[in-house]
Amino acid sequence: MTTHEGSTTGYSKQLPIIHPANAGYWAALKNHELRLQRCSACSTLRYPASPVCYQCMSTGEATWELLSGKGTLTSWIVVERATGNPAWSEDIPHVVAYVDLDEGPRLTTNIVETDPYTLTAGMRVEVVFDDVTPEVTLAKFRPAS
C-alpha cells in the first residue's frame, strides 16, 4: 500500500492513498463495514483492490462484498521501538499482523485491545474500526469475543 503523511489532519501517521480502484474498500470502512471486491467473472475475492483480477485477468465488473469481519491470527510482530515516524512512539508496543479472513484473503493489519505478549498463532480475531481522520477508517483486529 502506498502511503503519505496525514500531517494536515492532526493524524501524523501514514495514511492510504485512495484512488478509484480501492475507493470502495475505504468507503466501506468509513461505514464500519469490511468489504472486498469479488470478481464478477471468476468470483475471486481481490485483496488488495485492483481494476484487474489477479486470478482471471478480467478488467470487468466486481462487487464490494460485505465480509464477516472474522479471521485467524497467523503471524505477527510486536513493535517495541518507533523508528522513522516518531508519531508511532505513542503506540509502543504495537502489533503488526497477518490475519487470514474467514473468506480467504490475508490482511496485513494491527491487533489491538489486548496485551501483545498474550497472542497465540491460530487465535480467533474480529475486526474493529479505527476512525483515524474524518476521511479514513482503518480495519484493525482484536481477539474475538
Using CB under 5 A as the binding rule, whether residue 42 contacts Zn ion is answered as yes
Residue with cell 516518531: 86
Rounded to whole angstroms, the Cα distance separating 28 from 25 reads 5
- 41 forms part of the interface with Zn ion (CB under 5 A): yes
Q: By CB under 5 A, is residue 132 in contact with Zn ion?
A: no
Note whether 16 and 1 are within 8 A (CB): yes
Give the torsion through C-alpha atoms of 109, 132, 27, 141, to 10 deg.
30
Footprint (CB under 5 A) of Zn ion, residues 67-126: none
Q: For Zn ion, which is the closer residue by CB, 9 or 59?
A: 59
Instruction: Determine if 56 is a binding residue for Zn ion (CB under 5 A).
Output: yes
Q: Applying CB under 5 A, which of residues 14, 50, 58, 72 lies at the interface with Zn ion? A: 58
C-alpha count within 13 angstroms, C-beta hemisphere, residue 102: 13
One residue of 29, 36, 39, 95 binding Zn ion per CB under 5 A: 39
Applying CB under 5 A, which residues contact Zn ion? 39, 41-42, 44, 53, 55-56, 58
